[in-house]
Amino acid sequence: METFPIRFITDPGLFPLCRALRMLGFDALNRSNLKSSDVIEIAIEERRVWIRTNPEELNLQYGIRYFLVSSWEVPGQLEELDRQFSLKFLADPFSRCLKDNALLRLVPREVVLNRAPENILKSHDRFYECLVCGRVYWQGSHLKRMAKRLAEWGWIIKMTNGK
Ligand SMILES: [Zn+2]
């Protein structure tokens, strides 16, 4: 069992996986164009599992945990990760901003008045705000689409907290 929340950093080609991990509530960074030395530093300092696709590029370094995915598709990659880290047990779907990985907080309608369409403000009473980018989330069609996609991939998503 992990004694701290599991965190990840993914290689650039794995951005779809990175987003899926955020969707499931996991702390996941994408490497983007960071140099290997910077990724190594982040992985060690923040105790992130470095998810990669190419075994030949594994420059094994003390203190880093690597995870090599072999599937080319997100559902298969998630299954591989689940087998290793019990992600289905740890997931907290839709608790994180998809854009910047920050945690969302539940806010009252008054706080998001100018940041959501009027019909949404009228028909919903639970809103989630990203404290980093200010993006507002609610249980709308976008979130339902994501939940449907996760379900198609075999991830049973419990919508907690009325999300
Ligand atoms: Zn954000």
Confidence of residue 4 (pLDDT cuts 50, 70, 90): low
Q: How many CB atoms lie within 10 A of CB 160?
A: 10
Render pLDDT for 102-118 as a digit per residue (tens, 0 to 9): 999 999 889 899 888 99
**Ligand 1 center from residue 62 Cα (angstroms):** 33
CA neighbours closer than 13 Å in the CB half-sphere of residue 10? 22
> At 43, which helix (H) or strand (E)?
helix 36-45
pTM listed for this prediction? 0.86
Can you give the pLDDT at residue 145? Answer: 85
Can you give the pLDDT at residue 2? Answer: 47
- All structural domains of the chain, each given as residue ranges with its CATH number in brackets, are 7-90 (3.40.50), 104-162 (no CATH)
**Ligand 1 center from residue 132 Cα (angstroms):** 5
**Ligand 1 center from residue 117 Cα (angstroms):** 18
**Ligand 1 center from residue 27 Cα (angstroms):** 13
Render pLDDT for 81-104 as a digit per residue (tens, 0 to 9): 999 999 988 898 889 999 999 999
Burial 113-152 (b: 16+ CB within 10 A, else e): eeebeeebbeeeeebbbbeeeeebbbbeeebeebbeebee
**Ligand 1 center from residue 55 Cα (angstroms):** 32
User: Tokens 């951005």 label which residue?
Assistant: 15
**Ligand 1 center from residue 57 Cα (angstroms):** 31
CA dihedral 22, 25, 27, 31 (to 10 degrees): -10
Question: What average pLDDT does range 55-72 have in this prediction?
Answer: 81
Mean pLDDT of the chain: 87
**Ligand 1 center from residue 130 Cα (angstroms):** 5
pLDDT value at 125 more than 60: yes
Can you give the pLDDT at residue 79? Answer: 95
Can you give the pLDDT at residue 163? Answer: 43
**Rounded Cα gap, residues 123 and 129, in angstroms:** 17
Tokens of 94: 């839709």
**Ligand 1 center from residue 46 Cα (angstroms):** 20
